Chain A
Amino acid sequence: MTAYILRRLAFLALTVFITSLLIFVITQLLPGDVCRVILGREVGEGALEACRADLGLDQPAPVRYFTWLGEFLRGDWGSSYSTDAEILPLVVDRLNNSMQLGALTLLIAVPISVALGVMAALNAGRWADNMISIFSLAVVGLPEFVTGVLLIQFFGFPSIRGDLPFFEAVGRLLLPALTATFVLLAYVARLTRAGVLEELRQAYVRTAVLKGLPRRVVIWKHVLRNALLPTITVVAISFGWLISGLVVVENVFNYPGLGRLMVFAITRRDLPLLQAISLITVLGFALANLAADLLYAALNPRIRVGS
C-alpha cells in the first residue's frame, strides 16, 4: 500500500509538472501584449520596451519558464499585472472561499443524492423510482443561472445575517451550495441507483438473504458497502470541479471564489494570476483524483489486501 501511495504521488508530481509546462506555453501563446494592456494604447515604443524588460518578457521562453516555476515553488507568485496586488494571498483567500462552498455543497448533495439513488434502486420500476428519476433529471436539466435566480427569488438574496461568524458564513454559502447541489444531484443519484441495482443482482446478496438476515441488514451491511464504491470515487473527483468550476454559480451569487477570479484574470490578460490559478486548479483536480483512488483502495479489500 505504501509503495502504491508513493507511486501515485510521483505520478501526481509528474502530472502537475507537465501541466505547468502546458499552462506556460498556452499563456505565452495568448494573443495580445500585456504591456499594451497595462500602459494603454497611446504609449511609445521606449516605454513598452522598459515595461517588458521590467516584467522579464524580453528573456527567452525556457528561461522565463524556469524562473516562473522556481519562484512559484518558493512561494513567490509575483503580483497581478492588473491590480498590482500580491497573487499568493489573493489566490489563497479565494481558494479558501471555494473550498468552503465545495465542502458545504458535498455535505448537502451527497446524503440527499445517495439516499435518493438507494431509494430509487430499492423501488426499481415502481413509482418512487420514476418520481426520483423525473425530479433529478428536471433539476439537472435547468442551467445553474436559472436555478440560482429561482432560489434567490424564493428565499431572497442571501444577506449577511446572524451574529456568529459561523452562521453568517453558512447563510452566505447556503444558496450557492444548493444551486451547485442541483447540478450534482441527478448524476450522483443515478450512479448510486445503478450501483445498488448491480449489487442486488450479485450472488452474495442471495447468500445473505438465505442466512435469514433481515432485509435492512442485507441492504445496509452487505449491499451498500459494495454499491457505494463507484459513487464515492465520483464524489471525490467532483470536489476538484466544485473548487474551480463553479464560475456561473459564483457569478450569480457574486461569490468571491476561485472561478470568478479566473474569469477576471482572463478578461484582463493577467498572465501571472491566470497561471497561478490554473496550476492550483490542476493541483486540486489531481489531489481530488488521488483521494478518490486512495479512498477506493481503502474501502475495497480486493485492492487493499493482496491475495
Chain B
Amino acid sequence: MLSPSPLLNIEGLNVAYRVAGQDLPVLREISLEVLPGQTVGLVGESGSGKSTLALTVMRQLAANGVVTGGRVEFDGKGLLELTENEMRVVWGRELAFVPQNPATALNPAMRVGEQLAEALRLYGAGRAAAEARSRELLEQVRLAEPRRVARSYPHQLSGGMQQRVMIALALSGQPRLLVLDEPTTALDVTTEASVLDLLREQVGQRESSVLYVTHNLGVVATLSDRVAVLYAGELAEDAPTEDLFRQPLHPYTRGLLDSVPRLGQRKEQRPLQGIPGQVPRLRDFPNACVFAPRCPLAIELCWKERPLLDAPTPERRVRCHRWPEIMAGEVSAHRGEVKPIQRAKQEVRRVLNVEDLKVDYPLPSPFLQTLVCKSPRAVHAVREVSVGVSSGQTLGVVGESGSGKSSLARSVIGLAERSSGRVELLGIELPARLSRRSREMLSHLQMVFQNPEEALNPYLTVAESLTRPLIRLRGLSTNEARQQVPDLLAAVRLPADYAQRFPGQLSGGEKQRVAIARAFASGPELLLADEPVSALDVSVQANILNLLAELQVERQTAMLLIAHDIAVVGYLADQIVVMYLGEFMQVSPAEAIFDAPYHPYTEALLSSVPPPDPFVEQKKIRLEGELPSAIDLPGGCPFHTRCPRFLGDICAQQTPPWRETGDGKRIFCHIPVEELVQAQEPVLRFDGKRRTQR
C-alpha cells in the first residue's frame, strides 16, 4: 500500500538555545511525520522539548533559539527557509496554533468578535461577511449566545469559553494543520472533556491534521492516531496509539504508563511505579542513551553507544538497544513486583473533626452600601460541611476549581478564617485565627503545598528549612535540631549531603521531598496536602505519592489530601469526599467511588477524565453551562443548574437529603438510591477494544 505523502515532515531536526554565547541543545535529530487527516500526539515531560518542537514548526522559536540542523517540510516546502513575509500566508491559512493558556492569548483590550473578524477579513472576507462568519464560528465551537460572546471582552468569558474562542480562531482560516500546545491543561476536567469533544468533532469534519502536544497520556489515548514520545530532546518512540499502549517498546514509555494512576487503581493493590531520578537538563547530548541513567534495563552498551532510531515494524519506530528483547517478551521494563503499600491499622483515634464548617470571603462593599447598613456580600466558599479523619487514614477531597476544596484545607490549617462551625484536633477546638493557636497545635498540623518552587525559602539551606519547625514548634535547640536532619532526609529518600544545598540546586521532585520532610519534622498528627503532585512531572509524581503513603503508614499520621485529579485521590485516599460549589455531594469509601451508583456530579466527573488507556470504554456525560456564582448561590441542590439527571422543581427548591447506598457511600441527592442503581451503569468499562464513547 502506498502511504500518502505526509503533510508535515520533520527530518533530523536539531534545535538549541543560545545562552551566554553557548548553545544548549534542546532537540536532537527529531524525525516525525503527520499525514493528512491524522492526529499525532506528542507526549513528554517538562524538559522534553515538546513545546520547542511545536514552536519550531510554527516558526515561533524564542529569539535565542536556533535551528542547528534538519528540515521541517510542510506540504513539500521547507518551512524553515521561508521569510517572515512568506510565512504570513502560511500562518492562519495553512498552519494554526492553539496555545495552553487562553486567558493570555486573547487581546484583553479588543472584543472577541473583532479578534475573529480581523482574521477573517485578512483571509478575504468583506466586513459584513467577516462578522457573520465569526458568529457562525462561535456557534460551531458550541458557544451559547454567539452574539453576546462576540461583543464580550476576553475577561468576561470563562476559561473554557476563551479556549473555544481560540479554537474558533484557529479554524477561521481553514488550516490544514493545527498545532495544539496543551490546549486543555489550564482547564477543569469537565470543561476539558467538552473541549476535547469539540476538537475531535471539528477536526473530524474538516479532515485537518493535528499535532497535539501534551503531558497528559489520557488525552493522547483519547484523541490521537499516533503517539510520539519525547524524552530529553530525543524521540524515544513513535507508534500507532493502540500499539504504543498495548506494548510500549521503549522502557521510558513503559515507565510513563506505569507512573500514571488509573481510575480505580489503589496503593494497596497495584502500587504505582515511578521512574527513579529526574529528566536530565542537558548541557550536551551524551554519546549514549539519554535514558540510561533511569532505565531498569540499561546494559553496558546503553552507556557506550547511542541507539539508532529503528523501525521494529513499518508502523513503529523506537530508539532503544533492547527493543527486540522487549518485543519478544524476554525482558520487561516493569519494575518487577513493587511491594504494595499497606493500609493503616484500623481507626485508632479521631484526629480531625470538622463540624458545620463555613468559610465566607466578604467582598469589599461599596461605601454607600455600608452607610445604609446592607449586609456585605460574600463569596461562599465552604457551606456547613462536617467530616472527620482518624489516625493513619487519608481523607481525599476532590473537586474542580471553585468547589471550595482548598478553602476547606486552608480554614483547617488556619490560613483562611472560618466564619462558623467547629474544627477539633484530637478533641481540642482549634481557634479560627492562626495567631490564637498554640505552638503545640501548630506542630500537630502541618501542610504540604502544591508548588514546591514557592514553598521553600530560596535563601535557606535544606538543613535550615528542616530545623525551623523543630526549633520553633518543638522547642529544640539548634544543635538538637541539626542532629535530626539526616534522619528526616533519609525518611524522604534523599542523600544526607543535601542538607547543605539551597532549593535552587534541587529538582522539582526533590524540593517536594524536602517540603514533605519539613512537614513531617514537627511530628504532626494531621498532614494537609493541597495538590501535592500536580506541579510535578508524571514520572516523579508516582514516587512522591508512594512516599506520602509510606510515611503516613510509618507514622500513623492522618492526612487530608486535596486534589483535582480523581485518579490520584482514588489511589491514595481511604475515604473520598466530592465537593461542588462549597458543599459535599458524595462521601464514600475510596474503593467504592468508581462503582455505580454515583452522585450525578461524581458520575460526570468520572466520565470526563480521559483514561490513560485507549482500551477503556467510557460513558459520555457532559456538563452544560458554567459553574454558578459562589456569591449568589443557586437554591435547592447546588448542582441542579447543570445536573444531567435534573428532576424538576424539587431539585431547584429543596435541599436534597443524604442517602445511604449499599456499599457505604452517602449521596446528597433527591433521586432515591434504587433509581440511581437502575439508571446508572459503570462509567468505565474495559473490553480490550479501542475506546468509543458510549
Enumerate chain A interface residues (CB-CB to B < 8 A): 3, 7, 202-204, 206-215, 221-222, 225-226, 299-302, 305-307
The answer to whether A301 touches B118 (Cβ under 8 A) is: no
The answer to whether B91 touches A212 (Cβ under 8 A) is: yes
The answer to whether B91 touches A301 (Cβ under 8 A) is: no
Nearest CB of chain B from residue A6's CB, rounded to whole Å: 9
Residue in B58, B97, B106 whose beta carbon sits within 8 Å of that of A204 in the complex? B106
Q: Which residues of A have CB within 8 Å of B657?
A: none
Instruction: Tell me the bound Cα distance from A210 to B123 in angstroms.
Output: 13
- 1/0 per residue B146-178: CB within 8 Å of A? 000000010110000000001001000100000
Contact A225 to B109, CB < 8 A, known contacts A211-B91, A211-B119: yes
The answer to whether B109 touches A210 (Cβ under 8 A) is: no
Instruction: Tell me the bound Cα distance from A48 to B119 in angstroms.
Output: 80
The answer to whether B105 touches A206 (Cβ under 8 A) is: yes
CB-nearest residue of chain B to A6: B368
The answer to whether A211 touches B118 (Cβ under 8 A) is: yes
Q: Which residues of A have CB within 8 Å of B105?
A: 203-204, 206-207
Instruction: Tell me the bound Cα distance from A300 to B109 in angstroms.
Output: 6
Q: Which residues of A have CB within 8 Å of B101?
A: 203
A-B contact pairs, 7 of them (CB 8 A): A7-B366, A204-B107, A212-B87, A226-B108, A301-B108, A305-B153, A306-B156
The answer to whether A302 touches B110 (Cβ under 8 A) is: no
The answer to whether A210 touches B93 (Cβ under 8 A) is: no
B247 adjacent to chain A (CB < 8 Å):
no
Instruction: Tell me the bound Cα distance from A226 to B119 in angstroms.
Output: 19
Instruction: Tell me the bound Cα distance from A306 to B631 in angstroms.
Output: 15
Contact A302 to B107, CB < 8 A, known contacts A207-B169, A210-B58, A214-B88: no
Residue in A3, A212, A225 whose beta carbon sits within 8 Å of that of B366 in the complex? A3
Enumerate chain B interface residues (CB-CB to A < 8 A): 58, 60, 84, 87-93, 96-97, 99, 101, 104-110, 115, 118-119, 122-123, 153, 155-156, 166, 169, 173, 366-368
- Sort A-B residue pairs by CB-CB distance and give the 10 closest, nearest first: A212-B92, A212-B91, A203-B104, A301-B153, A211-B119, A204-B107, A203-B105, A212-B88, A211-B92, A307-B156
Instruction: Tell me the bound Cα distance from A34 to B604 in angstroms.
Output: 83
Nearest CB of chain B from residue A48's CB, rounded to whole Å: 49
Nearest CB of chain A from residue B105's CB, rounded to whole Å: 4
Nearest CB of chain A from residue B372's CB, rounded to whole Å: 14
Instruction: Tell me the bound Cα distance from A206 to B58 in angstroms.
Output: 10
Q: Find the residue from A202, A211, A212 having the highest chain B CB count within 10 A.
A: A211
Q: Which residues of B have CB within 8 Å of A215?
A: 84
The answer to whether A307 touches B107 (Cβ under 8 A) is: no
Instruction: Tell me the bound Cα distance from A206 to B181 in angstroms.
Output: 13
Contact A212 to B109, CB < 8 A, known contacts A203-B101, A307-B156: no
Nearest CB of chain B from residue A278's CB, rounded to whole Å: 28
Contact A206 to B99, CB < 8 A, known contacts A212-B89, A226-B108: yes
The answer to whether A222 touches B110 (Cβ under 8 A) is: yes
Nearest CB of chain B from residue A223's CB, rounded to whole Å: 9
Q: Determine the main DSSP class of A at the interface with B.
A: helix
Residue in A3, A208, A305 whose beta carbon sits within 8 Å of that of B156 in the complex? A305
Q: Which residues of B have CB within 8 Å of A307?
A: 155-156
The answer to whether A212 touches B367 (Cβ under 8 A) is: no
Nearest CB of chain A from residue B113's CB, rounded to whole Å: 13
Instruction: Tell me the bound Cα distance from A215 to B83 in angstroms.
Output: 13
The answer to whether A210 touches B92 (Cβ under 8 A) is: yes
Instruction: Tell me the bound Cα distance from A207 to B106 in angstroms.
Output: 7
Nearest CB of chain B from residue A216's CB, rounded to whole Å: 12
CB-nearest residue of chain B to A205: B107
Instruction: Tell me the bound Cα distance from A122 to B183 in angstroms.
Output: 30
Instruction: Tell me the bound Cα distance from A225 to B84 in angstroms.
Output: 24
Contact A211 to B104, CB < 8 A, known contacts A206-B99, A222-B110, A300-B109: no
Q: Which residues of A have CB within 8 Å of B110?
A: 221-222, 225
The answer to whether B104 touches A204 (Cβ under 8 A) is: yes
Contact A203 to B122, CB < 8 A, known contacts A209-B91, A305-B153: no
Q: Which residues of B have CB within 8 Å of A3?
A: 366, 368
Q: Which residues of A have CB within 8 Å of B155?
A: 301-302, 307
Residue in B93, B104, B107, B156 whose beta carbon sits within 8 Å of that of A212 in the complex? B93
Q: Which residues of A have CB within 8 Å of B173?
A: 211-212
Residue in B88, B92, B99, B153 whose beta carbon sits within 8 Å of that of A203 in the complex? B99
Further contacts, 16 of them, CB under 8 A, given A213-B119, A307-B156: A3-B366, A203-B99, A204-B107, A207-B115, A207-B169, A209-B91, A210-B92, A211-B169, A212-B119, A212-B123, A213-B118, A225-B110, A299-B109, A301-B108, A302-B155, A307-B155
CB-nearest residue of chain B to A304: B153
Q: Which residues of A have CB within 8 Å of B97?
A: 206-207, 210
Q: Which residues of B have CB within 8 Å of A302?
A: 108, 153, 155
Instruction: Tell me the bound Cα distance from A305 to B153 in angstroms.
Output: 8
The answer to whether B109 touches A301 (Cβ under 8 A) is: yes
The answer to whether B122 touches A213 (Cβ under 8 A) is: yes
Nearest CB of chain B from residue A161's CB, rounded to whole Å: 45
Residue in A202, A210, A301 whose beta carbon sits within 8 Å of that of B96 in the complex? A210
Residue in A204, A207, A212 whose beta carbon sits within 8 Å of that of B122 in the complex? A212
Nearest CB of chain B from residue A126's CB, rounded to whole Å: 12
Instruction: Tell me the bound Cα distance from A215 to B367 in angstroms.
Output: 46
Q: Which residues of B have CB within 8 Å of A204?
A: 104-108
Nearest CB of chain A from residue B145's CB, rounded to whole Å: 15
Q: Which residues of A have CB within 8 Å of B169?
A: 207, 211
Residue in A7, A206, A211 whose beta carbon sits within 8 Å of that of B60 in the complex? A206
Q: Which residues of A have CB within 8 Å of B109?
A: 225-226, 299-301
Contact A210 to B107, CB < 8 A, known contacts A305-B153, A307-B155: no
Instruction: Tell me the bound Cα distance from A214 to B106 in angstroms.
Output: 17
Q: Which residues of B have CB within 8 Å of A203?
A: 99, 101, 104-105
Nearest CB of chain A from residue B598's CB, rounded to whole Å: 33
Q: Which residues of A have CB within 8 Å of B366?
A: 3, 7
Contact A210 to B122, CB < 8 A, known contacts A225-B109, A226-B108: no
Nearest CB of chain B from residue A10's CB, rounded to whole Å: 8
Nearest CB of chain A from residue B349's CB, rounded to whole Å: 47
Nearest CB of chain B from residue A204's CB, rounded to whole Å: 4
Q: Which residues of A have CB within 8 Å of B92?
A: 210-212
Instruction: Tell me the bound Cα distance from A149 to B497 in angstroms.
Output: 68
Nearest CB of chain B from residue A285's CB, rounded to whole Å: 23
The answer to whether B367 touches A7 (Cβ under 8 A) is: yes
CB-nearest residue of chain A to B103: A203
Q: Find the residue from B91, B101, B107, B153 having the highest chain A CB count within 10 A.
A: B107
Q: Which residues of A have CB within 8 Å of B153?
A: 301-302, 305
Q: Which residues of B have CB within 8 Å of A213?
A: 88, 118-119, 122
Q: Find the residue from A209, A210, A213, A226 having the highest chain B CB count within 10 A.
A: A210
Q: Which residues of A have CB within 8 Å of B93?
A: 212
Q: Which residues of B have CB within 8 Å of A206?
A: 60, 97, 99, 105
CB-nearest residue of chain B to A124: B63
Nearest CB of chain B from residue A195's CB, rounded to whole Å: 13
Q: Which residues of B have CB within 8 Å of A7?
A: 366-367
Nearest CB of chain B from residue A33's CB, rounded to whole Å: 44
CB-nearest residue of chain A to B116: A211
Nearest CB of chain A from residue B635's CB, rounded to whole Å: 23
Nearest CB of chain A from residue B313's CB, rounded to whole Å: 36
Q: Which residues of B have CB within 8 Å of A222?
A: 107, 110
Q: Which residues of B have CB within 8 Å of A202?
A: 104
Nearest CB of chain B from residue A131's CB, rounded to whole Å: 21
Instruction: Tell me the bound Cα distance from A141 to B92 in angstroms.
Output: 48
The answer to whether B122 touches A211 (Cβ under 8 A) is: yes
CB-nearest residue of chain A to B88: A212
Instruction: Tell me the bound Cα distance from A306 to B152 in angstroms.
Output: 10
Q: Which residues of A have CB within 8 Å of B87?
A: 212
Nearest CB of chain B from residue A75's CB, rounded to whole Å: 30
The answer to whether A210 touches B108 (Cβ under 8 A) is: no
Instruction: Tell me the bound Cα distance from A206 to B54 in angstroms.
Output: 13
The answer to whether B367 touches A208 (Cβ under 8 A) is: no
Nearest CB of chain B from residue A64's CB, rounded to whole Å: 32
Instruction: Tell me the bound Cα distance from A207 to B123 in angstroms.
Output: 15
Q: Which residues of A have CB within 8 Å of B118?
A: 211, 213, 221
